[in-house]
Amino acid sequence: MTQQPLSASEKILKVKEMRQDENSAMTQQEPDYKQMANAVRALSMDAVEKAKSGHPGMPMGMADVATVLFAKYLKFDPRNPLWPDRDRFILSAGHGSMLLYALLHLTGYEKMTIEEIKNFRQLHSLTPGHPEIMKEVGVETTTGPLGQGIATATGFALAERVMSAHFPDLTEHYTYVIASDGDLMEGLSHEGCALAGHLRLSRLIVLYDDNGICIDGATDTSYSDDVTKRFEAYGWDVQTIDGHDIKAIDRAIEKAQKTDTPSIICCKTHIGYGAPEKQGSAASHGAPLGAAEIEGARKNLNWPHPPFEIPEDIAQLWRMVGEKNHSAYEEWENALSQNRHRATFDQVMAGDVSEIIAPLIREIKESFAKDKPKMATRQCSGNVLEILVPALPFLIGGSADLTGSNNTKVEGPGVITKDDYSGQYIHYGVREHGMAAAMNGMALHGGLIPYAGTFLQFSDYCRPSLRLAALMKQRVIHVMTHDSIGLGEDGPTHQPVEHLAALRAIPNFYVYRPCDGVETAECWELALNRHDTPCALALSRQGLETVREASKENMCARGAYILSEGKGKPDVTLFASGSEVGLAVKAAAALSAKKHSVRVVSVPCMDLFFEQDGAYIEELTCNKSVKIAVEAGVRQGWDRMIGAHGYFIGMASFGESAPADVLYKHFGITEDNIVATALAALAKK
């Protein structure tokens, strides 16, 4: 009788059974787990000592937990570090980076050589002080600012569930996190973990290093939270174990994998485990142990080997760990090759949407240019999304409880819930920082393009996550509406005056401030086509007249461009962004009526403009005309456009509570003031 070929799902099940057999075989070698963990401890304390800088305590304390996790449970393949269905491991306690580097070296990541371990914290090494994203060597995300890793993990775990809803035969993996007291102290961890519990992200497992020590000493000097009750309140499964008991660690992770909620395992550990004098004290947290203490630790750990030397029997056990999932990887690749959705899966993982959106953007631009609506750019953005979201099933939106104000949800695609992950929209609740961190995790996971909204003023609430997105070069799109004093009556607490400048100050973070529907469509196209930078779309609350015509070229792609030009060389050049471009156009008409040649330059993205070639920058900025910049924010940043002696019409204070038109007049951001400023400046020439 001919045997029927296995289906893709049957093959994956078979691979799981093979992994269980492999793990059972390794269980027989459990007495060696302690020495395997000691290899991690030794490399960690040796590297920190050589660098004369670093945090040896956490790696030494969590070595047992990490060893069991990597040896028995973590699905990864050092030969194929970008395997889409690998488990994600996040070291949220990034100060303990040597724990991760030691594990990556021991399990066989080719680039993580012993020389890289010896170059810990040195220039251009693969072993910086805190983990910085290097997926090709097993570093999934940048951590260091505490709380970021554990909150980003919510995004990783959510992305896995969304991808699994669409590709169930190709996506089934866990997100594991090692977190510290400091991670849980940071308020960001509350936002991220509460959201994870609400969405019942059952494949998220946190290993909490509960060592009772922080930089200032014992954690009870500042921290007395009942962590178990806290996480039970979030809807998580909670366990407490001895973090140095191999069997207890094993049982806890096995149980956590089977829950239908996120899991946290509180691991009671000793920081600096093995150090004769510094174990259990803050002295082992953030400084080298010193030669004498390391010698004593080697004796206590029964580790008589020289610095950076791993005996062959222990090295072989770790190499086996690195090889244990290679057959699973090959089976997954085989399943992918036979999957009827392979082309879609590959396209989604590549994330290139340029060909899909190009004709749609052209159509949208032509519609805006033809109808010339007077419309808030937040509404223009909503109209753009009505076209883009159905065409891009893995464009995942959301809002921090401001859906109706941000115009981020479109008709049709469903909401992602704990019961259904197949939708395209997330209700993040009032969690701006947690939202931004989760979006980073979704982008880092791969396959999804996250966008979500809040008010521009609340960029202050999530700035650390925006900065990390820029540092990690991730495509994360923030829709930030109510972008100026134009929001009116809500008053100065809600009116962002310094926020455009503050966001523009972040390297590799693009701030797009479109002036109408045509520019809004172009900015969305740029945001989606740039894979290596996050951005903010700063959008108006108040209605704006359409000033642009449709064009084949994306004019916003150069960051700034000539919107209108007078006859001959300009006497006055008006630079403006967003809602103030319309004012500049009207002022130009008034000045032209007085026989002055006026150039209007729209500046939708200052960051992009200064990436252009020198000739183009000079063409727009280096003439002898009177230069005036107009923006309903502070001046900072505009001197690069207009020079220190140029004129600025905008804000020099916080706002006030009043209708938008009253505020613009009160603060002098008007057509009349632009004209008067220009005439006065011309009179001085």
Q: Give dist(CA 607, CA 559) in Å, integer.
A: 7
Maximal C-alpha separation, the chain: 99
Neighbours of 447 (CB within 10 A): 22
Q: In 10 A of CB 61, how many CB atoms? A: 32
* Tally of CA atoms within 13 A in the half-sphere of 126 that contains its CB: 20
For residues 330 and 337, what is the distance between their CA atoms, to the nearest angstrom?
A: 11
d(CA 547, CA 565) in angstroms, rounded, equals 14
Residue in the structure block whose two tokens are 């082992």: 284
Nearest CA among 104, 15, 87, 62 for reference residue 256: 87
Q: d(Cα 173, Cα 188) in Å, to the nearest integer?
A: 24
Cα 600 → chain centroid: 36
Cα separation, 255 vs 263, in Å, equals 9
Number of helices and strands in the chain (H, E): 27, 18
Which alpha helices (H) appear in 566-659, and where do they start and end?
581-593, 606-609, 614-621, 639-642
- Tokens 């009827």 found at: 340
DSSP 284: G
The single-letter code of the amino acid at 301 is L
Cβ proximity of 339 and 74 under 8 Å: no
**For tokens 């239908």, what's the residue?**
260
**CA-wise closest residue to 239 among 257, 213, 221, 214:** 257
SS3 127: coil
Cβ neighbours of residue 49 closer than 8 Å, sequence gap 6 or more: 56, 288, 289, 290, 291, 294, 307
Please state whether 468 falls in left (phi above 0), alpha (psi between -120 and 50) or beta: alpha
537 forms bridges with which residues in the sheet? 479, 512
The answer for residues whose C-beta is within 8 angstroms of residue 471's C-beta and 6 or more apart is: 132, 142, 508
Residue that has been written with the tokens 């400091």 in this structure: 182
Residues forming a β-bridge with 535: 477, 510
Q: What is the CA radius of gyration of the chain?
A: 28
What are phi and psi for residue 398, nearest 5 degrees? 170, 180
Measured distance CA(565)–CA(561) in Å, rounded: 11
What single string gives the DSSP state of each residue in 529-570? H-TT--EEEEE-SS-B---PPP-SS-GGGGS-EEEE--SSS-
**HEC-encoded secondary structure of 174-239:** CEEEEEEHHHHHCHHHHHHHHHHHHCCCCCEEEEEEECCEECCEEHHHCCCCCHHHHHHHHCCEEE
The length of the chain in residues reads: 685
CA-to-CA dists, residue 261 to 200, 204, 299, angstroms:
5, 8, 42
List the one residue out of 605, 579, 595, 596 whose CA is nearest residue 516.
Answer: 579
Query: Which residues are catalytically annotated?
Result: 432
Q: CA 253, CA 159: separation in Å to the nearest integer?
A: 21
